[in-house]
Structure 1
Amino acid sequence: MSLALSPALRDALEAWLAEERALDGASEATIRAYATDLRRFLGFLAEYDGEPAGPARLKRVELRDLRAWMAHERGRGLGPRSLARALSAVKGFFRWFGKREGFEPTAVLSVRAPKFTRKLPRPLAEEAAREVIADLGTTPAAPWIAARDAAVATLLYGSGLRISEALGLKGRDAPLPEVLRIRGKGGKERLVPALPVARQAVDAYLDLCPFEKGPDAPLFRGARGGALNPRLVARAMEDARTRLGLPASATPHALRHSFATHLLAAGGDLRTIQELLGHASLSTTQAYTAVDTVRLMEIYEAAHPKA
């Protein structure tokens, strides 16, 4: 669809993406999603008009243009959540482009995103989380691999790390300090605690790991010594949940959800949990309050069954 855009508009799009990457610290995955969403919108606009879209056309975008585009996207099967994300990208670009070109993109910014039900995180119960970690550490795999998988899971549950963050640790990070400096999404740094149990698990793995522990080498290694593939962690979790009879929602990311949910249930402050998880918006962290409410209602209904 980018072929349907004028050179000036293609340049503007690339300039905006570059700024999002450099100034706002957006991840490469986010940049790719923005680029796809914008090119689809601008390509639709060109097809809608029957001529290449250029900067002058963007200044004349009306509410009906946005509605036609959204109807087109729904028609090709885009769900409310994905459409809301695409609209957010379009608004971000127009907000930037309007400032650069000296016009107010009122029509674009006034469009409301489609409503959708946010999926609630699906954490494990505290006992189940502990059982998973214990199971991973006692599998029939090579002892160092079992210790490795248990150490990764302990970091996900004990520090609320994303799997990419845990696997991004280097040899220089060991032995783990009491507080880890983690570079998360968009290159943003945050400080998270490394509990004694997590530090001990990593030490136990390193004592057994057969590969050289260079400062620039990945902390967690695959069977051949390269960086550990996250898919292998997911597969280890799949095996553990099968042995323990846990649901399919028991994934590596569920351990991060469990960290947040259990911390909240113990009286943790939402703002603190937001910082520990590295969420850009408090609204993302607030999903865990809904999870806690659901859990409380389940306990209530179990204790007070209806007649």
Structure 2
Amino acid sequence: MNQLEASKQKFLEYLQIEKQASPLTIQSYREDVEAFAAFLQAESVSYEHVEYAVIRVYLSQLHEMHLSRRSVSRKVSCLRSFYRFLEREGMVTANPFLNVRLPKGDKPIPEFFYEQELEQLFTISDLNKPLGQRNQVLLELLYGTGMRVSECTALTTEDLDFSLSTVLVRGKGRKERYVPFGSHAERALHLYLDDGRQQLTDKNQSDVKDLLLNARGGPLTSRGARLILNKMVKEAAITAEIHPHKLRHSFATHLLDRGADLRSVQELLGHEHLSSTQIYTHVTKDRLRNVYMNSHPRANK
């Protein structure tokens, strides 16, 4: 193992143990560091002697690959963190990415479902069957709490508190938050726990604590959840594509549309920074403008 490879492994261990980064984040950082290492090898440049001129060449290559500004910014951010770690460990004398700044592109406006579209989705599941009951719970929790699909599939039955109508969610960096759920989700959960889940558990001899189970009685994966949602969209004859984050976007957008304050939505979503939540205000601006134009006596022409 060469010195750069050893440094990369230490960096990934640091992300996992100290930063408690998610597996997806670690994989993304791994790919970005390996891509930069391959570039350095092709250019015959040692990673300890990277200068700004070398970085400019690398950025030019990324531009020629037609990567989005957001993707390039993410790669630069990753390499800045990598060299910050190397500097801390005494493996390099300075961070060459410290002063590399890229103009930020506009954040894409999040896609969301209109309330009428969601109503169609909630009528699809066959509540007389175990998998139909599970699918309804999946949909109710994703839209009713705004949690990420990975957070939802990681839930156990012990995370539910029916006395307070809340669920314990373990977010990024293992940060925990309590999120309330409504009466629709509560009814779906009771039906599933009392009936469908017990039938699915009987198919698996081991003691499974996971809330959402697959057809064999094992834990439902994030990928499985996505496949279920796509199937439900097709059955509902909705032309829009679905991904679990679209339900999270819908959750936040509908709350703000109905008067929720940004700080509360931030807490419910588990965002560390308010700037991550502010993107949803762009979605509601058009609605606010329409309300103003139709309601204020001095607004109508």
TM-score range normalised by the length of the shorter chain: 0.7 to 0.9
| 2:141/2:147 contact within 8 Å kept | yes
**1:127-166 Cα deviation digits (max 9, x unpaired):** 3323322x23347xx6222221111111111111112221
* Equivalent residue number for residue 149 of structure 2: 163
The equivalences for 1:110-189 within 5 A come to 110-133=99-122, 135-138=123-126, 143-174=129-160, 176=162, 178-189=165-176
Residues 256-302 of structure 1, C-alpha deviations (whole Å, 9 max, x = no match): 11111111222222222222112233222111111111444577799
Which of structure 1's runs of 4+ aligned residues deviate more than 6 A? 298-303
**What is the CA distance between 1:228 and its match in structure 2?**
2.3
Structure 1 residues 225 and 252, CA gap change in structure 2 (3 angstroms): same
Are 2:252 and 1:238 equivalent residues in the alignment?
no
Which secondary structure does the structure 2 equivalent of 1:181 belong to?
strand
| Structure 2 equivalent of residue 278 of structure 1 | 270
Which letter maps to 2:257? Answer: A
User: Is 1:194 the equivalent of 2:186?
Assistant: no
C-alpha distance 211-242 of structure 1, shift in aligned 2 (>3 A):
closer
C-alpha distance 84-227 of structure 1, shift in aligned 2 (>3 A):
same
Supply the RMSD in Å over aligned alpha carbons: 2.9
- The residue type equivalent to 2:38 in the other structure is G
What's the CA shift for 1:13? Answer: 2.1
Q: Which amino acid aligns with 1:277?
A: L
| Farther off after superposition, 110-119 or 90-99 | 110-119
Percent of aligned pairs with the same amino acid: 32
The runs of 5 or more residues in structure 1 that have no matched partner are 1-5
Q: State the distance in 2 between where 1:227 and 1:85 align.
A: 32
TM-score, scaled relative to structure 1: 0.82
More deviation in 180-189 or 290-299?
290-299
| Equivalent residue for 2:29, pick from 34, 47, 63 | 34
Alignment partner, residue 3 of structure 1: none
Please state whether the residue corresponding to 1:109 is helix, strand or coil. Answer: coil
Contact 2:167 2:181 (C-alpha < 8 Å) held by counterparts: yes
Query: Unpaired runs of 5+ in structure 2?
Result: 296-300
Residue 298 of structure 2 aligns with which residue?
Answer: none
SS in 2 for 1:129: helix
Quick check: 1:20 aligned with 2:15? yes
* C-alpha distance in 1 between matches for 2:2 and 2:288: 57
Q: Normalising by structure 2, what TM-score? A: 0.84
**Structure 2 vs 1, CA of residues 125 and 301 (structure 1 numbering), >3 Å: closer, same or farther?**
farther
Partners of 2:13 and 2:194 lie apart in 1 by: 44
Spell out the pairing of 1:65-76 with structure 2 (5 A cutoff). 65-76=54-65
CA contact (8 A) 2:230 2:241 kept: no
Q: Is the 8 A contact 1:91 1:108 kept in 2?
A: yes
Count of aligned residue pairs for this structure pair: 291
Contact 2:32 2:75 in 1 (8 A): yes
- Structure 1 partner of 2:195: 208
* 2:219 paired residue number: 227
Whole-angstrom CA distance in 1 between matches of 2:79 and 2:244: 33
1:7/1:229 CA distance change after superposition, 3 Å: closer
* Structure-1 separation of matches of 2:225 and 2:5: 40
Q: 1:252 and 1:89, CA in 2 relative to 1: closer, same or farther beyond 3 A?
A: closer
